[in-house]
Chains A and B, each alone.
Chain A
Amino acid sequence: GQQVMQIPQYQHVQEGEDFTTYCNSSTTLSNIQWYKQRPGGHPVFLIQLVKSGEVKKQKRLTFQFGEAKKNSSLHITATQTTDVGTYFCAIKRSNTGKLIFGQGTTLQVKP
């Protein structure tokens, strides 16, 4: 069935360093969504990418959708302690409203 691989599983950075998480699929995607889950909290929708090669920015976060629509990345510039949490990508299962979530990348930021 459809799957999405997300790497790395964990990332520890010093505050101020950059961070990137990647999602890869073997099939062409209609869209990809990104969520953030703070420790002890619930996932919160960040953004959806739809177009090939799309790049969207939210302050220090940059989201990219690959030209072939098979991969995506989330890049955080100059991390802050408020960026701590687990970042999930999610893809839509064919012909349904269901999402398939990646395993997530847990970000730790040392002050």
Chain B
Amino acid sequence: SQTIHQWPATLVQPVGSPLSLECTVEGTSNPNLYWYRQAAGRGLQLLFYSVGIGQISSEVPQNLSASRPQDRQFILSSKKLLLSDSGFYLCAWSGQGGNNEQFFGPGTRLTVL
């Protein structure tokens, strides 16, 4: 069966520090991968989308970047965190093709102080 992992689960970082969040998927090949951010009590904002290794689509201009060095690995990074980067970061995967549902990882709760 497929599983999706994210780490760390929680993170407290000072403003200006770098960030690296990792997401890995098991049990499937060539998934679509997604990074979302969810502010407290708010909806899901799609940050990045990837259909394959090295293929990243950015949804909104921001202080973050994403990379997909392997088929089932998706990394969210920042060189210098801002206070506004605080939030709940969720990685998700879906199968290739039209109507497939998305499966979310457990998320990383990031607090920037």
> Which A residues contact B (CB, under 8 angstroms)?
30-31, 33, 41-45, 48, 50, 88, 90, 92, 96-99, 101-104, 106
Q: Which of A33, A92, A98 has the most CB of B within 10 A?
A: A98
B60 to chain A, nearest CB (A): 12
Q: Chain B, 87-99, contact with A by CB distance < 8 Å: what is the 0/1 string?
A: 0001000101111
On chain B, the residues within 8 Å of A106 by CB distance are 41
Contact between A101 and B43, CB atoms less than 8 A apart: yes
Can you list 7 A-B contacts (CB < 8 A)? A30-B99, A43-B104, A50-B99, A97-B98, A97-B100, A98-B49, A104-B42
On chain A, the residues within 8 Å of B105 by CB distance are 42
Known: A42-B90, A42-B105, A45-B103. A92 touches B46 (CB 8 A): no
On chain B, the residues within 8 Å of A97 by CB distance are 32, 49, 51, 94, 96-98, 100
- Number of A-B residue pairs at CB separation under 8 A: 49
Q: Does more than half of chain B's interface fall in helix, strand or loop, or is it mixed?
A: loop
Contact between A48 and B99, CB atoms less than 8 A apart: yes
> Which B residues contact A (CB, under 8 angstroms)?
32, 34, 41-44, 46, 49, 51, 90, 94, 96-107
A96 to B100, CA, bound (A): 11
A99 to B106, CA, bound (A): 19
A89 to B42, CA, bound (A): 13
A97 to B105, CA, bound (A): 18
Contact between A45 and B102, CB atoms less than 8 A apart: yes
A109 to chain B, nearest CB (A): 17
A30 to B99, CA, bound (A): 9
Which residue on chain B has the smallest CB distance to residue A10? B41
Which residue on chain A has the smallest CB distance to residue B34? A98
On chain B, the residues within 8 Å of A104 by CB distance are 42-43
